[in-house]
């Protein structure tokens, strides 16, 4: 599709070098795109209205009408030209040749995949697909939480209260019970903490018994997690966890020493990162490395291995200080790629206001949420289309998709209170609404059979209701690029809903099977909507059922 914003930018930048492409805004009122000229008033020493009027008089953009109004430089695409852009697609790969590492989900070994993991998993998973669709080489990284004293505590719990047959039968449920029981008992018996540290040290030292148990716990965890990932259409290229980087911390220390950045404070190794932040602790006084040290080692490994252009960390907003410290240390070390590290933060998720804590056992498994959504979807689908052949598959796609779309619909920084009823509203701004609109489009096309929908007359789609759909389709690629630039999958989700709303208005206002050239054009538009919805749904991890 034609990127009109880029075309407009190319024509303006010669006369207005201060312009950034982000200054070209979409408009729904007087034009298609506009440039507010207020920021240039001081630079050019002219009133915004005068600037807009002068540029409107001398700018020529092929296929675009240029005008000025109240200090805005307005651009209106000629309708037939914009219709043409939807059907004469060009491959849009603006990020070809770029490599993007995305660290997301990062489940903890021996802990359940609960609702609190939803946001990091689906935001990261959607960004993975969005970047790939734009031509980037993407590396999805599941930075497993597989290092720390808690694993020694789990071994202690297993030796005290565990049973191999029960573990083999119950898997992660058994590990969770042992984990919770150990921490409850630890509050009564402080000696258990020392015992946990002892087993944790044995894991680090490679003790065969301790490592064997830990590997078993890890295998059980990943087996369960991958079942959830498959349901969510999530993929990874690496499962290297914290433990992989423990023996690489010493190289980071050597670099810090060489730069004169490593200092001793009460026996601990620290790096001063400025007055506005506490120091980054590399090693405690007992010799144990901390998170920031292992993340520094991981950052160097990823740069050396993948030579990334961007490295994203999709981690909750409450970890902001950690990433500020991490990025600042890399900056102090003089690494030019420190600015390529990005913390993609997000708000917290709850279910009916209930906060979650694995340690206390108050946990809602994500698989249980997905199962409940699928069951509810099956009930709704059965009422709407009792004769649907593949109800089970469609119910899975709709139920799981509803949960994911709901998580990705609002801006990622907003705290989320999940509601099953809201997410599965087929008439709301939801995943099921988008999926149903896609199925409606496919149904129309199926009924049309072998009708000719190629070589259409573009003027047939310049009427108001059709053109509203055309406008939303024509810059879908541009919206996808914005989603990548801003690390915001909700841009795609919200655009999909707008396309559906516009198409359904068109569907209700215009008879599609009307015969002749008009029918061909309207069917072509229906196919373009279906194809765009299918592509967009895949970008935000949803399936696109043909029938619902």
* Whole-number pLDDT of residue 361: 55
Whether residue 6 lies in the annotated active site: no
* Whole-number pLDDT of residue 13: 82
Q: Give per-residue pLDDT as tens, 481-502.
A: 999 999 999 999 999 999 999 9
Q: Give per-residue pLDDT as tens, 93-113.
A: 999 999 999 999 999 998 888
Closest CA to 526 of 428, 437, 464: 437
Q: Could you give the CA distance from residue 183 to residue 181 in angstroms, rounded to a whole number? A: 6
Q: Which residues of the chain have pLDDT under 50?
A: 353-359
Nearest-10 crossing angle of helices 490-509, 391-409 = 120
Q: At residue 252, what are phi and psi to the nearest 5 degrees?
A: -65, -40
Written in H, E and C, the secondary structure of 250-269 is HHHHHHHHHCCCCEEECCEE
- In DSSP terms, which residues pair with 269 in a beta bridge? 264, 283
Whether residue 114 lies in the annotated active site: yes
Tokens of 205: 């030292």
What's the distance, Cα to Cα, between the start and end of the chain in Å?
A: 29
* Whole-number pLDDT of residue 161: 96
Angle value at C-alpha 105, between 101 and 109, nearest 5 degrees: 120
Assess contact for 402 and 373: CB atoms under 8 A: yes
* Whole-number pLDDT of residue 365: 86
Element holding 498 (H helix, E strand): helix 490-509
- 3-class DSSP assignment, residue 396: helix
- In DSSP terms, which residues pair with 362 in a beta bridge? 357
In sequence order, which residues have a C-beta less than 8 Å from that of residue 511 and are 6 or more positions away? none
269: left (phi over 0), alpha (psi -120 to 50) or beta: beta
Assess contact for 248 and 306: CB atoms under 8 A: no
Tokens of 25: 């805004």
Burial class (CB in 10 A: 0-12, 13-18, 19+), 296: buried
Closest CA to 117 of 428, 488, 536, 418: 418
* Whole-number pLDDT of residue 315: 98
Among 114, 143, 218, 376, the active-site one is 114
DSSP for 20-54, please give it.
-GGGSEE-SSS-SEEEE-GGGHHHHTS-HHHHHHH
Q: Could you give the CA distance from residue 45 to residue 52 in angstroms, rounded to a whole number? A: 13
CA-to-CA separations, 312 to 139, 287, 299, 322, 388, in angstroms, rounded = 10, 29, 11, 14, 42
* Whole-number pLDDT of residue 275: 86
Q: How many beta carbons lie within 10 A of that of residue 55, not counting itself?
A: 18
Q: Could you give the CA distance from residue 362 to residue 357 in angstroms, rounded to a whole number? A: 5
Whether residue 318 lies in the annotated active site: no
Element holding 139 (H helix, E strand): strand 137-141
Q: Could you give the CA distance from residue 123 to residue 400 in angstroms, rounded to a whole number? A: 15
Angle value at C-alpha 148, between 146 and 153, nearest 5 degrees: 105
Q: Give per-residue pLDDT as tens, 293-348.
A: 999 999 999 999 999 999 999 999 999 999 999 999 999 999 999 999 999 999 98
Among 11, 84, 98, 111, the active-site one is 111
Q: Could you give the CA distance from residue 353 to residue 358 in angstroms, rounded to a whole number? A: 16
Among 6, 42, 117, 310, the active-site one is 117
Residue count (the chain): 548
Q: Could you give the CA distance from residue 173 to residue 152 in angstroms, rounded to a whole number? A: 18
Predicted TM-score (pTM) of this structure: 0.93
Q: Specify the DSSP class assigned to residue 459.
A: G
């Amino acid at each position: 599709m034609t990127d009109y914003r880029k075309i407009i930018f190319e024509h303006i930048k010669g006369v207005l070098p201060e312009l950034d492409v982000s200054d070209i805004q979409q408009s729904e009122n007087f034009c298609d795109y506009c440039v507010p000229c207020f920021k240039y008033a001081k630079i050019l020493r002219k009133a915004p209205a005068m600037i807009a009027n002068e540029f409107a008089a001398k700018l020529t953009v092929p296929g675009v009408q240029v005008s000025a109004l109240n200090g805005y430089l307005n651009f209106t695409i000629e309708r037939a030209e914009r219709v043409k852009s939807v059907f004469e697609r060009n491959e849009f790969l603006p990020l070809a040749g770029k490599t993007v590492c995305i660290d997301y989900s990062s489940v903890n070994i021996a802990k359940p995949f609960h609702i609190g993991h939803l946001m990091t998993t689906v935001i990261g998973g959607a960004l993975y697909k969005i970047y790939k669709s734009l031509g980037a080489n993407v590396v999805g990284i599941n930075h497993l939480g597989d290092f720390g004293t808690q694993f020694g505590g789990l071994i202690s719990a297993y030796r005290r209260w565990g049973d191999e047959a029960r573990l083999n039968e119950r898997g992660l449920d058994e590990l969770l019970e042992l984990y919770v029981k150990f921490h409850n008992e630890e509050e009564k018996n402080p000696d258990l903490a020392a015992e946990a540290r002892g087993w944790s040290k044995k894991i680090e030292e490679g003790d065969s018994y301790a490592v064997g148990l830990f590997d078993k716990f890890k295998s059980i965890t990943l087996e369960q997690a991958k079942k959830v990932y498959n349901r969510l259409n999530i993929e990874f290229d690496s499962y290297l966890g914290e433990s992989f980087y423990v023996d690489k911390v010493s190289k980071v220390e050597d670099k810090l020493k060489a730069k004169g950045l490593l200092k001793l404070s009460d026996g601990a190794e620290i790096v001063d990162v400025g007055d506005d932040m506490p120091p980054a602790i590399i090693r405690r006084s007992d010799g144990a490395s901390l998170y920031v040290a292992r993340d520094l080692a991981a950052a160097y490994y990823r740069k050396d291995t993948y030579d990334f252009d961007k490295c994203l960390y999709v981690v909750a907003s409450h970890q902001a200080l950690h990433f500020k410290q991490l990025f600042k240390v890399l900056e102090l070390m003089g690494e030019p790629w420190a600015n390529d590290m990005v913390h993609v933060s997000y708000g917290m998720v709850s279910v009916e206001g209930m906060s979650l804590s694995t340690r206390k056992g108050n946990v809602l498994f994500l698989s249980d949420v997905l199962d409940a959504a699928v069951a509810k979807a099956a009930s709704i689908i059965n009422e709407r289309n009792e004769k649907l052949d593949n109800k089970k598959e469609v119910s899975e796609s709709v139920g799981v998709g509803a949960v994911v779309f709901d998580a990705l619909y609002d801006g990622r920084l907003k705290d989320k209170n999940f509601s099953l009823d809201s997410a599965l509203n087929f008439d709301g701004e939801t995943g099921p609404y988008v999926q149903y609109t896609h199925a409606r489009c496919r149904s129309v096309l199926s009924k049309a059979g072998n009708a000719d929908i190629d070589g259409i007359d573009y003027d047939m789609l310049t009427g108001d209701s059709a053109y509203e759909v055309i406008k939303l389709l024509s810059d879908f690629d541009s919206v996808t690029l914005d989603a990548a630039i801003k690390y915001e999958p909700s841009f795609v989700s919200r655009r999909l809903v707008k396309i559906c709303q516009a198409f359904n208005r068109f569907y209700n206002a215009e008879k599609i099977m009307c015969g002749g050239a008009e029918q061909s054009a309207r069917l072509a538009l229906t196919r373009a909507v279906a194809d765009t919805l299918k592509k967009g749904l895949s970008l935000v991890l949803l399936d696109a059922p043909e029938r619902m």
